[in-house]
Amino acid sequence: MQVGIIMGSTSDWPTMKHAADMLDRFGIAYETKVVSAHRTPQLLADYATGAAARGLKVIIAGAGGAAHLPGMAAAFTSLPVLGVPVQSKALKGIDSLLSIVQMPKGVAVGTLAIGDAGAANAGLLAAQILATSDASLLAQIDTFRAAQTESVLSQPDPSQV
Ligand code: RP5
């Protein structure tokens, strides 16, 4: 496994599946696990502490509300941690975003957008990180981006639809 996708609850999976789908697109091996900063703190410590030794290269961590999972994972490992703010019911994910993005100096979390787009981009960014040492993967990402550009350029003018 190269990427670990962790989330605070099974209720986060519909969001975090977008990260998994992006990794699938590039053929990147990953694992998924529910790890809660608040409900299973020892599991979080064990998971993040052992992640590098198990061969993981990147951790994607999604959580909602008081979303301490990405920051605490980053506290236990020097692997890059990408944080996905899951959209919460009460505050629409603003709480998740602010909980994840405002890390104190010295412990980094790469924070993505709230919700599905952020999860997909976490998968994409994980792929880009892995591609710094994998020329074949970098070429795949270039191809993905070129196809995306072409699909936008080939769209008709909105007023003509
Ligand atoms: C967080 O609380 C989880 O990441 C989830 O986004 C949120 C709600 O969890 P559940 O009550 O649905 O399990 O820890």
Q: Which atom of ligand 1 is nearest to the CA of 38?
A: 14
Contact of 125 with 46, CB cutoff 8 Å = no
Taking 70 as the pLDDT cut, the residues of the chain under it are: none
- Position 161 scores a pLDDT of 81
Burial class (CB in 10 A: 0-12, 13-18, 19+), 122: buried
pLDDT number for residue 76: 98
CB 95 within 8 A of CB 88: yes
Q: How far is CA 149 from CA 12, 123, 146, in A?
A: 30, 19, 5
Q: Which domains does the chain possess? A: 3-160 (3.40.50.1970)
Q: Whose CA is nearest to atom 2 of ligand 1?
A: 64
Protein residue with least CA distance to atom 7, ligand 1: 64
The verdict on the CB of residue 40 being under 6 Å from ligand 1 is no
3-state class (DSSP) for residue 13: helix
Residue nearest to atom 5 of ligand 1 (CA): 64
Name the 3-class secondary structure at 138.
helix
CA nearest ligand 1 atom 6, residue: 64
Is the CB–ligand 1 distance for residue 102 below 6 Å? no
User: 50 C-alpha to center of ligand 1: Å?
Assistant: 24
The pLDDT of residue 95 is 98
* 4 DSSP β-pair partners: 31, 59
86 Cβ inside 6 Å of ligand 1? yes
